[in-house]
Amino acid sequence: MLFLLRPRQTWMPYARPRPRSQQELYNQQLQQAYTSTRRVPPYAPQSPVSSRRDPLAEVRELAQLHESGVLTDAEFTAAKTKVLNAGDDAT
């Protein structure tokens, strides 16, 4: 029989734990390195209230354009109907 003797391990096969403050600093450094390589901006959801326009304000703008002569009667009526119908669909 052959017995292979090997010396005791003098090194640890895993990293020794760090103190909490050093670990947090290391985690922050890793996070900064990760975010610096991102090419897509982080997701920021839009609130549904801010994304909708006020239909009354749009009708007022159309009325001003109609009064100034930029829009004809038919164009004004069509645009106003479109704005008002779009407001009904959103609710």
pLDDT digits (tens, 9 = 90+) for 9-44: 666 667 777 888 999 999 999 999 988 887 887 788
pLDDT digits (tens, 9 = 90+) for 9-18: 666 667 777 8
At 65, is the pLDDT very low, low, confident or very high (cuts 50, 70, 90)? Answer: very high
Helix, strand, coil in percent for the chain, rounding step 5: 60, 0, 40
Enter the pTM of the model.
0.41
pLDDT at 91: 52
Of the candidate ranges 2-6, 24-28, 61-65, the one whose mean pLDDT is the lowest:
2-6
